[in-house]
Copies of this chain bind each other. A is one copy, B any other.
Amino acid sequence: MQRVTKLTVRFLSDKASRFVPKSGVYPKGYAVGGIHCGVKKDGTSFDLAILQNIHGKDASAAGVFTLNKFKAAPVQVSRKILKEKHGSGINSFVINSGNANAVTGSQGMKDAEDMVLVTDSVLENPTNSTLVMSTGVIGNNLPIDKILNGIPKLASDHLGNSHQNWIDCATAICTTDTFPKLVSKEFKIDDDTYTLAGLCKGAGMICPNMATLLGFFVTDAPVSPSALQQILKYAVDRSFNSITVDGDMSTNDTIVAMANGAAGGELIDNKSSSADRFARLQTEIVDFAQQLAHLVVRDGEGATKFITIKVKDALSYKDAKTIASSVANSSLFKTAMYGKDANWGRILCAIGYADVSTDKSVIPSKTSVKFVPVDGSEHLKLLVNGEPEKVDEERASEILQDEDLIIEIDLGTGGGQSADFWTCDLSHEYVTINGDYRS
Cβ contacts A70-86/B at 8 Å (1 or 0 each): 11000000000000000
Do B388 and A205 touch across chains, with their CB atoms under 8 A apart?
no
Residues of B within 8 A of A430 (CB): 331, 335, 431
Q: Decide: B69 and A248 in contact? CB cutoff 8 A.
A: no
Q: Pick the residue among B71, B247, B353, B439 that contacts A67 (CB under 8 A).
A: B353
Given A67-B353, A104-B388, A331-B331: A339 and B246 interface contact (C-beta under 8 Å) = no
Report the copy number of this chain in the oligomer. 2
Q: Would you list which residues of chain A between 321 and 373 have a CB under 8 Å from chain B?
A: 329-332, 335-336, 338-339, 341, 343-346, 348-353, 362, 364
Determine how close the nearest CB of chain B comes to the CB of A431; give it in whole angstroms. 5
Q: A435 an interface residue at 8 Å Cβ cutoff?
A: yes
Total number of A residues with any Cβ neighbor in B under 8 Å:
61
Chain B residues, CB < 8 A from A338: 431, 435
Specify the main secondary structure of chain A where it touches its partner: loop
Q: Which residues of B contact A432 (CB under 8 A)?
A: 428
- Whether A339 and B437, one on each chain, are in contact in the complex, defined by CB atoms closer than 8 angstroms, is yes
Q: How far is the CA of A302 from the CA of B71 in the complex (A)?
A: 33
Instruction: Determine whether the beta carbon of B388 is less than 8 Å from that of A139.
Output: yes
Q: Is A91 an interface residue (CB 8 A)?
A: no
Q: Given the complex of chains A and B, what is the CA–CA distance between A200 and B204 in angstroms?
A: 35
* B interface footprint on A398-439 (CB within 8 Å = 1, 0 otherwise): 000000000000000000000000000011101110111111
Per-position 1/0 for A104-123, Cβ under 8 A of B:
11100000000000000000
A residues 45-101 with Cβ under 8 Å of B?
A: 67-71, 100
Asked whether any CB of chain B lies closer than 8 Å to the CB of A383, the reply is yes
A386 interface residue per 8 A CB criterion: yes
Kindly state whether residue A175 has any CB partner on chain B within 8 Å: no
17 interchain pairs, CB-CB under 8 A: A69-B352, A103-B383, A104-B388, A138-B343, A138-B348, A139-B388, A205-B349, A247-B330, A248-B330, A251-B345, A251-B349, A331-B331, A338-B431, A339-B434, A339-B435, A343-B437, A427-B431
A residues neighboring B (CB under 8 Å): 67-71, 100, 102-106, 137-140, 204-205, 209, 246-251, 329-332, 335-336, 338-339, 341, 343-346, 348-353, 362, 364, 383, 386-388, 426-428, 430-432, 434-439
